[in-house]
Structure 1
Amino acid sequence: MAELLPDPVFFASLPKVYSSGSVILRDERDRVLIEKPSYRDHWLLPGGHVDPDEDVRMTARREVREELGLDIEVGRLLTVNWLPALVESGRPMGVHFVFDGGVIPSDVLEREVVLQESELEEWRLVEESQLHMLSTWGSRRALTAMRVLRGEEPADLIGFGG
């Protein structure tokens, strides 16, 4: 029996979606590691956009390795944020995944983080109350992920915004 091949016309007609993955990486005092990219005004969680040949968990691990020089195991999914398309700006729909990056003692982070200087200006550990340093959508994702980590709510879709 011949294998049915996907119809390229059908796939071309579907909306485009970009996807990214990041991590909540904490120290022993539950401070969250954030990074300041040189190409944005706000801070970000470690992570980035999915490449065509990888899944989103692989993306999160690769990005942490590239940006911070840390090879971590990416843990459980904490939250998903779906972003609608912004037709007027040309932005397609997006799906952003936030995973548990685990706990690394602050002295180990100080010793082992190697900042990707081509993209990042600095990194720091911040208290949960300082997560407003991220963008509005980034702080919403991070705060939701922290509540999930504490068991205050289940991992879930956090809806629109972005």
Structure 2
Amino acid sequence: MPRLLPDPAYFASLPKVISSGAVILRDEDDRFVVEKPNYRDHWLLPGGGVDPGEDARKCAQREVLEELGLDLEVGRLLAANWSPANPARSAPMAVHFVFDAGVVPRAELEANIVPQASELDDWALIDEADADILSPWGGARARRALAVLRGEAQPDLF
């Protein structure tokens, strides 16, 4: 019978996977919120990295509160995208979740969003046609999530 590694050694030998939770938050005209972090050259969907032991949906809700000052209920899963490890960037494989954060009137968003000064340079409401201000991958992810919201596609799960 082969010797099994003790759990700590076995789990330490497995590949590392990072995870994130983000949202599609729309206004009444179907524009969606994006944010410009000060540490990236492109815009992002509101969200961030999942903390140890945290659920991806709760992560998305926490990040929206931290980054934009909005305490929102985060709804259904729209997409779960896997990205392979990228040795050139020393990046491990990852799973990125996108959730529906609903519709909030533009006036309410403008009155209540307070961008986190330590991380964000700006925020904006954009049309789907402008999704390319996100990275190419991020724009495709946002367009797919919006198609799911319109009922034109099934959730993109990997």
Q: What's the counterpart of residue 10 of structure 2?
A: 10
Q: What's the counterpart of residue 150 of structure 2?
A: 150
Q: What's the counterpart of residue 131 of structure 2?
A: 131
Cα deviation for residue 89 of structure 1 reads 2.6
Q: Is the partner of 1:143 in helix, strand or coil?
A: helix
- 8 Å contact from structure 2 (residues 69, 115) kept in 1: yes
Whole-angstrom CA distance in 1 between matches of 2:7 and 2:51? 23
Q: What's the counterpart of residue 3 of structure 2?
A: none
TM-score by length of 2: 0.94
Whole-angstrom CA distance in 2 between matches of 1:31 and 1:116? 21
Tell me the matched-pair count: 153
| Misfit runs of 4+, over 6 Å | none
Q: How does 1:62-141 map to 2 (within 5 A)?
A: 62-141=62-141
Q: Is the partner of 1:88 in helix, strand or coil?
A: helix
Q: Is the partner of 1:109 in helix, strand or coil?
A: helix
Which 5+ residue runs of structure 1 have no aligned equivalent? Answer: 1-5
What amino acid sits opposite 1:51 in the alignment? D
Provide the alpha-carbon RMSD of the alignment.
1.0
Whole-angstrom CA distance in 2 between matches of 1:137 and 1:88? 17
- 8 Å contact from structure 2 (residues 144, 156) kept in 1: no
Q: How does 1:28-47 map to 2 (within 5 A)?
A: 28-47=28-47
The share of aligned pairs that are identical, in percent, is 62
Cα deviation for residue 138 of structure 1 reads 0.6
Cα deviation for residue 7 of structure 1 reads 1.1
TM-score by length of 1: 0.92
What amino acid sits opposite 2:102 in the alignment? G
Whole-angstrom CA distance in 2 between matches of 1:104 and 1:34? 14
What amino acid sits opposite 1:35 in the alignment? E
Q: What's the counterpart of residue 3 of structure 1?
A: none
What amino acid sits opposite 1:73 in the alignment? E
What amino acid sits opposite 2:115 in the alignment? L
Whole-angstrom CA distance in 1 between matches of 2:138 and 2:65? 20
Q: Is the partner of 1:33 in helix, strand or coil?
A: strand
Cα deviation for residue 88 of structure 1 reads 3.2
